[in-house]
Amino acid sequence: MVEWLRFAPPASSNAGAMFAPKPVDGLIYSMLSPAFYRLLQCPTCSSRDLYVEADGVHCLCCQTVYPFGDGFVDLMPRTAAFGYVSKYVTEEAEMAEELDYRDLAPPLLAAGVRERILRRLLRFRPSDIFLDNGCGNGRFGVWYAPAVALSVGSDPATLYADEAKQLLALAKADARRLPFADDVFDKALSVDVLEHFPLDVIDDYLRETARVLRPGGRLAAFSNTKELSHLQAVIDASKRLGQWFVNRGVYDFEREARRKSDHVKALPTYEDVRAAMERAGLRVIEVRFWNTVVTSFVEHVLMKLGEALLAHKRRPAQPHTDHGETHGGEGTQREIVARRRIRKQLSPRSPVYWGLYLLTSLMELDVILWGRLRTGPYFILVEKPR
Ligand SMILES: [Zn+2]
């Protein structure tokens, strides 16, 4: 017997969260929130004739079954073949460890600056249906979930944080063929995504994001061009100081280098960014550049020194892995160990938390003071015309 959506969301959880399979009348049903279900369309044939059974979401039109995963629905298109595949998908197991994705820290330091600026640009309303397109572990969706009616995360790699599985509606999806109907989202987010894609994928990604936004809906993006800052000399001074410590073996930037290893930056200038938005039918509302004067000093010197100190304090601690082996070199491991150690001290509003909070505010000054001065890292707010 086909069991159409059995909606029994516990009152305490977010309206959009997925519900783990649980026994109802002696049978196991995977449950999907009605709010999330209403957004969906078949990514393979674009039909909206979908229904839900215990094994997943079914398309009446093309008969595809999209199974439930651990806290998400696998909504990858089944027939499309794409040329480009992100390394987060091809090297998922390896990246899993390096990204250290399971536990979420509060939005602090560079992530905190992004969180604050993007929140301000998007001006959430309690009724908003929100999509983080390329959500990674889902941290932005988690941070913004209390401000919106429904927080949705979409990513082809399923390295979702535990909290994201509880608070977000998560779709394993390809951004070139999103599993959502036209005009359903009020706000969308794109953080650290565009710099990874070749130009044709950027165009598809933005066109799909525009399609699922309602007219008047807005997308806020954070990415990087190849432009240099007028304040580059000051920024480079911090990097040189950082290099001085690297040369003396105090720390290294191995993890950063690996993270940036697949940056394509197919939009080399801000004009290219504008043009790409316009090709997708998105109108530019506002842009803020991030001249990383304070930020560079914090990231290249202060934090790295702190990490080196913390990681060396107790040497034998190796990060726990599911596979019993570790990937990445010593620098990566040291950083992961230090970050975990810091994270343990972050709750409940500890002195460490407030110290990092203060540093975050100092880093944010880079955007507030020099936001009009062009450079590589940028925040952009665009709108789908009404
Ligand atoms: Zn279909």
Region at 56 (left for phi over 0; alpha for psi -120 to 50; beta for the rest): left
**pTM score:** 0.83
Tell me the one-letter amino acid at 131: L
Please report the pLDDT score of residue 81 as a whole number: 65
Beta strand 169-172 with 73-74 is parallel
Tell me the one-letter amino acid at 304: K
What the block records as the tokens of 157 is: 């790699």
Count of C-beta atoms within a 10 Å radius of residue 273:
23
Residue ranges of alpha helices (H) inside the chain are: 34-37, 87-90, 92-99, 109-122, 139-144, 162-167, 199-212, 232-247, 254-259, 270-279, 293-297, 303-313, 330-344, 351-370
Do you know the residue count of the chain?
A: 386
What the block records as the tokens of 19 is: 């519900």
Cα–Cα distance measured from residue 116 to residue 118, given in angstroms and rounded to the nearest whole number: 6
**Could you read off the pLDDT tens digit of each residue along the chain, which spans 386 residues?**
333 344 433 333 344 444 444 444 444 344 578 899 999 999 999 999 999 988 899 999 999 999 999 899 999 998 766 767 777 777 776 766 666 778 888 899 999 999 999 999 999 999 999 999 999 999 999 999 999 999 999 999 999 999 999 999 999 999 999 999 999 999 999 999 999 999 999 999 999 999 999 999 999 999 999 999 888 888 888 888 888 888 877 777 776 776 677 788 999 999 999 999 999 999 999 999 999 999 988 888 888 888 777 776 655 444 444 444 445 566 777 777 777 777 766 766 788 888 889 999 999 999 999 999 999 999 999 999 99
Tell me the one-letter amino acid at 369: L
Task: Identify the CA nearest to 70 among candidates 25, 30, 98.
Answer: 30
Measured in Å, residue 177 CA sits from the centre of ligand 1 at 12
Measured in Å, residue 58 CA sits from the centre of ligand 1 at 8
Can you list the domains of the chain with their CATH numbers?
A: 87-383 (3.40.50.150)
Measured in Å, residue 277 CA sits from the centre of ligand 1 at 29
| CA 309 to chain CA centroid, nearest Å | 29
Measured in Å, residue 230 CA sits from the centre of ligand 1 at 51
Please report the pLDDT score of residue 219 as a whole number: 98
Quick one: DSSP state of residue 188? E
Measured in Å, residue 169 CA sits from the centre of ligand 1 at 20
Q: What SS3 state is found at 30?
A: strand
Measured in Å, residue 379 CA sits from the centre of ligand 1 at 36
Measured in Å, residue 166 CA sits from the centre of ligand 1 at 27
Measured in Å, residue 201 CA sits from the centre of ligand 1 at 23
Measured in Å, residue 185 CA sits from the centre of ligand 1 at 21
22, 37 Cβ separation under 8 angstroms: no
Measured in Å, residue 340 CA sits from the centre of ligand 1 at 43
Backbone angles phi, psi at 337, to 5 degrees: -60, -45
Measured in Å, residue 39 CA sits from the centre of ligand 1 at 15
Measured in Å, residue 59 CA sits from the centre of ligand 1 at 5
Measured in Å, residue 80 CA sits from the centre of ligand 1 at 12
